[in-house]
Amino acid sequence: MILTLKDGSKKEFKDGMTGLEVANAISPSLGKKCLGIRFQGEVIDYREPLKEDGDFEILTKDSPEALHILNHTCAHIFAQAIKHLYPEAQFAFGPSIDEGFYYDIKLPNPISDKDFPAIEKEMHKIVESGLPLIRKDITKEEGKKIFADQEFKKTHIDELEGPLTVYEQGDFVDLCKGPHVPNTSYCKAFKLMNISGAYFHGDKTQAQLTRIYGICFFDEKSLEDYLHLLEERKSSDHRKLGKDLNIFMLSDYGPGFPFWLPDGMIFKQQLIDYWTKLHYANDYMLIQTPMILSKELWETSGHWDHYKENMYTTMIEGKEYAIKPMNCPGAIQVYKNDQHSYKELPLRYAELGFVHRHEASGALNGLFRVRAFTQDDAHTLLREDQVEEEISKLLKIYGEVYKTFGLTYHIELSTRPETGYIGKIETWNNAEDALRKCLEENGVPYKINPGDGAFYGPKLDFKLNDSLGRVWQCGTIQLDMQLPGRFDCVYVDKDGSLKTPLMIHRAIFGSLERFSGILIEHFKGVFPTWLAPKQVVILPVIDEKHGKVADEIAKVLKEAEIRAYVDHSEDKLGKKIHDWQVKKVPYTLVIGDKEAEDKSVTYRIYGHKDQVNIPLEDFKKLVLDDIKSKKLSRD
């Protein structure tokens, strides 16, 4: 087999060699560091034999995927400890996640976080034993014998096709595809974090389980840093900051339906203005489609079959309608309103569509998980030969937007779901290949997220990294080779024949609500000046004496479209300064005798102790430059 290495070179190896054997053949020192393999874009276990040509990369502790591999092993260590302490435990699934791992288990008696120290003590014994993780291929029949007393494992075996793999470590064995670190001693620094309820397969009709979350690092310092970061996140919780900063509120009269408060509306409008200018600059046409549409439309789109449980419905004159959970069928109706030629394509429709989805009450979380939100959608109808160019343009737009907010990201290519998809597999394969080719030609690194595509097509998911070390799913680009055909969308081709266009579904923020929550925590409420609801607060030292001058200054700033506010309260100056620091307003002006006399201002930047006195016109220019440049900080 021919393997293409990370540096682009190609080398021939014997068919069936494991990833570790290939790594040792390349460099024995690299083989010692090997924790996993990226083969054809997918992370696999280094113990797995390779049987075909492909791209090959060795993963070490320094690789981004290393913590996922480590945490996957720690999940097995946790399960082994549970088996020692609670022999009657039934095990479901124990994957690694973006931050750590979890394991779903069914226990004979309830446990709580008070039991964590005893479980961790048993885990430490397993780690200190340095048990090797041994990978074995087995048949379904062998699997059912191994897991004869494990009801959830047997059910899962029935759901799987082909050969199975298990991993053994000492007296514990688990059904698993991997990958895993060489032995348990790698999992030195771990902590069990919290406990919650879960259902088998996430299905409410199935058994209720106990889900325990944990986190693991290669060293104690990384664990300590992470726990410190968690404390920082608590103080940056968007629900608390949203209330303190007058951004949004929630009410028991409408769980999951957020209220935007006055300052929040200013914040939201800045995002909308930025979004609108971006789209006009990139040749999008803005549209607005109805919030309620008939059941027939959703049946045609496929949402009725695939999404009905998450849709709100209503009856109008004896006919069933649904409040839209998606904007795409509406955009298709706009396209069908006119006849189109191949010369017009691509046609780009953008919409800030207000959508509703019925989320379980237990899943609601501030602005992060709501039942009504504004989705920053766009739908592009185009020819097949235009796909790569269009996606290349989109990749640049996404990069520009996320850079504006100081957010880094990586991309995952989500492929065809195992079940519930529409269309032919060949069509799906072509769509996936088109996305993969576009990423590679643009030199954009990506990961494969198998089976997580939309029911109508594969997608590119943009995973954002915030200042608090978290990863968020926000932007998405979905290539749809199904929906236009279901609605009989056509264009007149060069030869006069009617052809069906393709559609690209695309959102950058994901939703204004969720993205706002992310930004509140990312900036910890200290927004860039252009986003801040109040940009300048003016504090007269003595209101009766300096209040009029403060109002005159505010007028000058407001005429320049700077959001200025005068605090005429009777509080003492020291309290005013403190209170507005709590509100995290970018610029605080203090107006006393000197300022009133020479028409100057004394300003202080949020988070700084220094006060600077300059002419009002100079201050106005300073703030306008800050706003125009969209600076991320005011150092």
Q: What CATH number is given to the structural domain containing 38?
A: 3.10.20.30
Residue 20 is part of which domain span? 2-59
Residue 305 lies in a domain: no
Residue at a domain's end among 229, 254, 275: 229
Classify the phi-psi angles of 41: left when phi > 0, otherwise alpha if psi is within -120 to 50, otherwise beta.
left
Closest CA to 22 of 38, 43, 46: 46
Residue-wise pLDDT for 211-265, tens only, equals 999 999 999 999 999 999 888 888 889 999 999 999 999 999 999 999 999 999 9
Query: CA 329 to CA 505: how far, in whole Å?
Result: 11
Within this chain, do residues 178 and 93 fall inside the same structural domain, yes or no?
yes
Residue 531 lies in a domain: no
Residue 470 has what pLDDT? 82
Residue with tokens 């793999």: 165
Residue 130 has what pLDDT? 95
For 383-441, where are the E strands, in sequence order?
A: 408-414
Residue 315 lies in a domain: no
Residue 225 lies in a domain: yes
Query: CA 446 to CA 180: how far, in whole Å?
Result: 21
Within this chain, do residues 455 and 543 fall inside the same structural domain, yes or no?
no
Residue 370 has what pLDDT? 94
Do the beta carbons of residue 574 and residue 541 sit within 8 Å? no
Residue 627 has what pLDDT? 96
Within this chain, do residues 47 and 84 fall inside the same structural domain, yes or no?
no
Residue 92 lies in a domain: yes
Query: CA 213 to CA 100: how far, in whole Å?
Result: 7
The residues carrying an active-site annotation are 328, 357, 375, 377, 379, 459, 505
Within this chain, do residues 116 and 34 fall inside the same structural domain, yes or no?
no
Radius of gyration of the chain (CA): 28
Question: How much of the chain, in percent, has pLDDT values that exceed 70?
Answer: 100
Rounded (5°) CA angle 388-433-45: 130
Within this chain, do residues 120 and 43 fall inside the same structural domain, yes or no?
no
Residue 393 has what pLDDT? 93
Do the beta carbons of residue 479 and residue 428 sit within 8 Å? no
Query: CA 372 to CA 258: how far, in whole Å?
Result: 8
Position 456 pLDDT exceeds 80: no
Residue-wise pLDDT for 260-306, tens only, equals 999 999 999 999 999 999 999 999 999 999 999 999 999 998 889 88
Residue 42 has what pLDDT? 84
Query: CA 512 to CA 376: how far, in whole Å?
Result: 7
Residue 308 lies in a domain: no
The residue among 434 and 59 whose pLDDT is bigger is 59
Do the beta carbons of residue 215 and residue 226 sit within 8 Å? yes
Within this chain, do residues 180 and 115 fall inside the same structural domain, yes or no?
yes
151, amino acid identity: E
DSSP 318: T
Residue 312 has what pLDDT? 94
- DSSP run (H or E) holding 378: strand 372-382
Query: CA 374 to CA 509: how far, in whole Å?
Result: 10
Task: State mean pLDDT over 312-316.
Answer: 94
How are beta strands 612-615 and 600-605 bridged, if at all?
A: antiparallel
3-state secondary structure of 122: helix
Within this chain, do residues 55 and 72 fall inside the same structural domain, yes or no?
no
Please report, for the domain that includes residue 220, its CATH number: 3.30.980.10
Residue 507 has what pLDDT? 95
Do the beta carbons of residue 564 and residue 536 sit within 8 Å? yes
Position 530 pLDDT exceeds 90: yes
Strand partners, 369: 365
Residue 397 lies in a domain: yes
Q: Which residues contact 73 (CB under 8 A, 6 or more apart)?
A: 133, 180, 181, 184, 186, 187, 216
Burial code (b: 16+ CB inside 10 Å, e: under 16) for 469-506 equals eeebebbbbbbbbbbbbbbebbbeeeeeeebbbbbbbb
Residue 419 has what pLDDT? 78
Closest CA to 188 of 68, 74, 59: 74
Residue-wise pLDDT for 206-226, tens only, equals 889 999 999 999 999 999 999
- H helical segments located in 91-219: 116-129, 140-146, 151-159
Question: How much of the chain, in percent, has pLDDT values that exceed 90?
Answer: 67
> Is the alpha carbon torsion for 420, 202, 521, 212 positive or negative?
negative
Within this chain, do residues 336 and 390 fall inside the same structural domain, yes or no?
yes
pTM of the full structure: 0.78
Query: CA 524 to CA 235: how far, in whole Å?
Result: 8
Task: State mean pLDDT over 326-330.
Answer: 92
Task: State mean pLDDT over 493-506.
Answer: 95
Residue at a domain's end among 500, 522, 544: 522
Residue-wise pLDDT for 60-105, tens only, equals 998 988 999 999 999 999 999 999 999 999 999 999 998 899 999 9
Query: CA 159 to CA 389: how far, in whole Å?
Result: 40
Within this chain, do residues 513 and 554 fall inside the same structural domain, yes or no?
no
Within this chain, do residues 446 and 511 fall inside the same structural domain, yes or no?
yes
Two structure tokens written together for 274: 């930025």
Task: Give how many domains the chain has, as a whole number.
Answer: 4
Position 422 pLDDT exceeds 80: no
133, with CB counted inside 10 A (0-12, 13-18, 19+), is buried
Within this chain, do residues 350 and 403 fall inside the same structural domain, yes or no?
yes
Place 354 in a pLDDT band, splitting at 50, 70 and 90: very high
Residue 30 has what pLDDT? 85
Please report, for the domain that includes residue 477, its CATH number: 3.30.930.10
Q: For residue 5, what are the CA distances in angstroms to 62, 318, 397, 587?
A: 17, 64, 31, 53
Residue 306 lies in a domain: no
The residue among 587 and 8 whose pLDDT is bigger is 587
Position 583 pLDDT exceeds 80: yes
Concatenating the DSSP letter of every residue in 509-573 gives SS-HHHHHHHHHHHTTT---TTT-S--EEEEESSHHHHHHHHHHHHHHHHHTT--EEE---SS-H
Query: CA 392 to CA 379: how far, in whole Å?
Result: 16
Task: State mean pLDDT over 312-317.
Answer: 94
How are beta strands 164-169 and 172-175 bridged, if at all?
A: antiparallel
Residue-wise pLDDT for 514-524, tens only, equals 999 999 999 99
Within this chain, do residues 440 and 491 fall inside the same structural domain, yes or no?
yes
Residue 295 has what pLDDT? 93
Position 201 pLDDT exceeds 90: no
Classify the phi-psi angles of 171: left when phi > 0, otherwise alpha if psi is within -120 to 50, otherwise beta.
alpha
Residue 227 has what pLDDT? 92
Position 635 pLDDT exceeds 80: no
Q: In 10 A of CB 322, how many CB atoms?
A: 22
- Average predicted confidence (pLDDT) for the chain: 92
